[in-house]
Chains A and B, each alone.
Chain A
C-alpha cells in the first residue's frame, strides 16, 4: 500500500473519539492474510480492514453522516484508501454521505407490502407532520407488528419503538409442536442462568462428549437443510469444512434477515439469544473452526444488544474462549452489524461486508466451504438452521425426525403477515398445509386472492394451492418455494399490482449494481411494471420484454438476488393477478 493521500478535511473531536472507541485495539482479532487469489477480482490484503463497518457505524451515529473529515480519520486509522472508504460508506442504506441538514434521529418506516397494508404511508406522513425526519424504505423485519419503524438514533441509541410498546405475544395459542420456539417468552433472554434452567448448554455438553464426527453424523442423519432459502443440506456443508485442515476456519451465523415478510430470526435472537450462541459453538467445534461470527442486520438493535450481552456472559463462564466447556478447544464469537443492504444476506456479499469491502457477491466457485471469510473455509448458516441443531443433538436424529416428512424432517418457522387477523411467528411440522397455517393466522379464505411464499425472492400462489403441504419437496413440485418462511396472504381489498410493483422496486433498490443483468434488469423490470394500468392488459411486447429480462437475470446474474429478482413478478403474471384486463 502506498501512503494514503487524504484531503485537508479533519474529523471533529467527537468523530475521532467515536471511531477510536469503535475500532478494537490493534491485533484484537487474529485474521490471517490470504494468498493473492481471484475473488471477484480483488486481492485480499487483510489486516484491520474488517473494522471499517463498525467505524462507519460510529461516525454515522455521532455526526448523522459520514463527513469528509470523519472519513479521513477512518481511512488513516485503518490505512484504507479514502476512495474505497467512500465506496463502502455509500453502499449502505443506513449511512449517508451528505450532510443531513438536521441534528435529530431518523425514523425509518417500512413501505413493503405488509406494512403498506397496515397503513405505513399514513404513519410516515403523520411522523413527518410531527417534525420527525422520516426515511421510507424496505422491510424492517417487524411485519408481525406492522406498520414498522426503526429509529436510527442521533444522541440516543438506535431503537425500535415497538420493542417497548408492544407486549410480547409468543407463543400464539394452538401451537403444540414447539421445538425451536419452546423457550421464547419463557426464558429470561438476559440471563445465562435462566437459559441453563431451561436446558441451555445441555446440547453443547452432549456434543463435546460425542466428538465432532458424531455431531456431524447426527446433523446429517437428521436431514437438516438450510432455512435461509437455498435448502442446502447442513451436514454436507459442515462435513466439507471439517475436512479442511487446520483451525483457521470460520462459522458464520447469517442473521442479516432482510427478506421482506421475514422476522423469525429476530424473534429467536431477541428472546432466546443463548440458543444461537450455543448452536454456533457446536458448529465451530464440529467443523474445527476457532472463530465464529454473527452478522446481524443493522435494523435489529434489541437482538444486537441481547446477543452482545449473551456473548459477554458466555465468555465469562467459559462457554466461549480458550477452553470451551472444558473441551480443551478454543472458540470465540465476534458480532458485526450490517448497515441496510439486503444483498449482504448473500453469503459471499456478507463476507465482503465483514471484511470491510463493498457488499458485492463473489463469483462461485470457489465455494465458501473452501474459500469463504478472509479466504478461509467457512460455514454459513441461518440462525433458524443453527438452532435446529440443539434438538438434534439433545434428543437424537430419530426423535427429531418424528415430526415432518422424510425429505423435510422437523418443524419450520413461518412468518405470517399481510391480510390476516393474527400475524406472527408460527412453528409447525413440515407438511402442514398452507390452508391450515393461514386459518391459524386468521385469514379470510373466501376473500383470499394470492399468497406470497418466501418473500420478495419467492413466488405467488393462488387459492387453488391452499392444500399444498408446506415441505421442500411439495413446494418444488408446485414450482413454488418456501424461501425464508415468509407467508403473506393478500385478499380482495389489496391492490396486487401495487404489491408486485413494489417488489420490483425493492429489487431495483437492493441490487448491488455489480453485474449488468441485475443492475439494469431490476431497473427496467420496475419501469415496465410502473406502466401497469388498472383494467388494462399488459401489451404483448411488454410481456415479452419482462420475459426476456427475467431470463437474462436468471441465467447470467452473479448471485441469487438477480436469479430471483423476476420470480415473484413472473408468478404474478402466470397467475393472472397482474397484467390481465379484468
Chain B
C-alpha cells in the first residue's frame, strides 16, 4: 500500500504501521510480520473473537483487546509480546489443552508449546469435554472431544457462507456444545453437506470420513499427499478445487481461500462428489 492510501497509523511494538481504514489490529500485526496466534479467526469469516488467544496490550485500555476484531484507530500503541500478553495467550492455550484433545491440532499445539502452556497442572479429576464421536453418514464425522468452541463451523454453516443454519451453539458455560436442534442426526437436520464447516475447523473435530477411516487404520499420511488444483466440473460457477491425493486416491477436497469465486467454500458436489474420478 502507498502512504496516500493509509488512513490510520498505529504503533506495534515500537514500529509505526500505516493501515487503510477498516483494518484490524491483526491486519497491522501481519503487515509487519508480527506472528499472532489465532483460533476463531479466519480470513473468510466474520471475526467472532471468542477464543481470545490473539489478545494484545493496548495502551490506555484496562484489559487486553482482541487483535482480530478490534479496528485499528489512529495513534493506537500496541504491545504484542508483553508479559501480560504472553500470560493470557499461554493460559488460553493451557485451558483448551486441559479441556479437549488437541492431538490433531498441530498449529495450536505448536503455539501452546511456544507460550509454555502446562495443562498437566490441573487435577486429574478436572472436567473435560467427553462426547461420543458422531459418525452419521459417509461424508464427515464430528468428534466434539476435540472442539474448542471457536464458532467457525456455525458461522460457515450460517451467515458467513452457506445460509443453512443447521448447527448452533447450545447449552451454556463449560457444557456449551455445537449442536443441531435436540442433537438430531445430521441427515435429519438442515445440513446440506457442503462441508464448509469441515474446511474451517481448526482442531479436526470435524473431519472428512475418508480421513477418519484412514486414521482408524493408521494410514492417514499427510506427508505422502499431493495437492492438485483444478476447476470443478459440475456447473458453470468455476469453483476451484484442491484435490488431496494419497496413494493415487483422492482423500480430501478443499478450496483455496484466496480464490474470488469460492473464498474457500464449496457445495456438496464439489466437496464430496469426486467418486467418478
Please report A residues at the B interface, Cβ cutoff 8 Å.
Answer: 1-2, 4-5, 7, 38, 40-43, 45, 68, 71, 81-87, 90-91, 97, 341, 358, 363, 508-517, 519-524, 527-528, 531, 541, 545, 548-549, 551-552, 554-558, 563
Identify the stretch in B160-168, B214-222, B251-259 within 8 Å (CB) of chain A at 4 or more residues. Answer: B160-168
Q: How near does chain B come to A94, taking the closest CB pair, in angstroms?
A: 12
A358 pairs with B91, CB closer than 8 A: no
Which of A1, A510, A524, A554 contacts B98, CB < 8 Å? A524
**B172 engages A511 (CB within 8 Å):** yes
**Which residue of chain B has the shortest Cβ distance to A68 in the bound complex?**
B182
Collect the chain A residues with CB atoms within 8 Å of residue B122's CB.
524, 527, 545
23 inter-chain pairs at a CB distance below 8 angstroms, sorted by A residue, are: A1-B163, A41-B47, A41-B50, A45-B159, A83-B179, A90-B171, A91-B172, A512-B172, A513-B149, A513-B171, A513-B174, A514-B50, A516-B148, A520-B98, A523-B174, A524-B95, A524-B122, A527-B126, A548-B91, A555-B55, A555-B84, A555-B87, A556-B55
Going nearest first, the 3 A-B pairs with the smallest beta carbon separation are A41-B48, A81-B165, A87-B168
Q: Is B176 an interface residue (CB 8 A)?
A: yes
6 more CB-based (< 8 A) A-B contacts, given A83-B181, A519-B174, A524-B122? A38-B47, A513-B174, A522-B173, A523-B127, A551-B84, A556-B91
For the complex, count residues of B whose C-beta is within 8 A of A. 58
Contacts of A97 in B (CB 8 A): 182
Query: Which of B63-71, B136-144, B223-231 lies at the interface with chain A?
Result: B63-71
B193 in contact (CB, < 8 A): no
Q: Taking the nearest CB of chain A, how far is it from the CB of B107, in angstroms?
A: 16
Kindly list chain B residues whose C-beta atoms are within 8 Å of the C-beta of A510.
173
B110 at the A/B interface (Cβ < 8 Å)?
Answer: no
Check if B123 is an interface residue, CB within 8 A of chain A.
yes
Q: Give A556 to B185 CA distance when docked, in angstroms.
A: 35
Residues in B with CB closer than 8 Å to A42 are 46, 48, 159
Are B121 and A541 interface neighbours, CB within 8 A? yes
Cβ-Cβ contact count across A and B, 8 Å cutoff: 184
Is residue B99 contacting chain A, with contact meaning CB distance below 8 A? Answer: yes
CB-CB under 8 A from A512, the residues of chain B are 172-173, 176
Q: Indicate if the CB atoms of B49 and A363 lie closer than 8 Å.
A: yes
- A516-B63 in contact (CB<8A): no
* Given the contacts A363-B69, A556-B88, A516 and B55 also touching, CB distance less than 8 Å: no
Judged by a CB distance under 8 angstroms, whether B242 is at the interface is no
Find out whether the CB atom of A43 lies under 8 angstroms from the CB atom of B126. no
Which residues B65-98 have CB closer than 8 A to chain A?
Answer: 66, 69-70, 84, 87-88, 91-92, 95-96, 98
Neighbouring B residues of A557 by C-beta, 8 Å: 52, 63
B104 is an interface residue with CB less than 8 A from chain A? no
Q: How far is the CA of A522 from the CA of B126 in the complex (A)?
A: 12
Counting chain A CB atoms within 10 Å of each CB, the highest count among B51, B87, B123, B168 belongs to B168
Contact (Cβ within 8 A) B48 A40: yes
Known: A68-B181, A81-B165. A4 touches B52 (CB 8 A): no
**A509 in contact with B84 (CB, 8 Å):** no
Across-interface contacts of A40 in B (CB, < 8 A):
48-49
Q: Is B170 an interface residue (CB 8 A)?
A: yes
Task: Decide if B189 touches A5 in the complex (CB within 8 Å).
Answer: yes
Residue numbers in A under 8 Å from B43 (CB-CB)? none
Q: Which residues of B contact A508 (CB under 8 A)?
A: 173-174
Taking a contact as CB atoms under 8 Å apart, the answer to whether A81 and B168 are in contact is: yes
Known: A71-B181, A512-B172. A556 touches B64 (CB 8 A): yes
Contacts of A71 in B (CB 8 A): 181-182
B175 at the interface (CB under 8 A from A): yes
Distance to closest chain B CB from A356 (angstroms): 12
| A545 CA to B51 CA, complexed, in Å | 20
Chain B residue nearest to A544 in the complex (CB): B121
| Cα-based distance from A82 to B5 in the complex (angstroms) | 45
Establish whether residues A524 and B190, one from each chain, have CB atoms under 8 Å apart when the complex forms. Answer: no
Asked if A517 and B91 make an inter-chain contact with CB atoms under 8 angstroms apart, the answer reads yes
Chain A, Cβ-Cβ closest to B46: A41
| Alpha-carbon distance A399/B46, docked complex (angstroms) | 51
Query: Min CB distance, A351 to chain B, in Å?
Result: 16
- Does B44 interact with chain A (Cβ within 8 Å)? no
- Contacts of B167 on A, CB cut-off 8 Å? 83
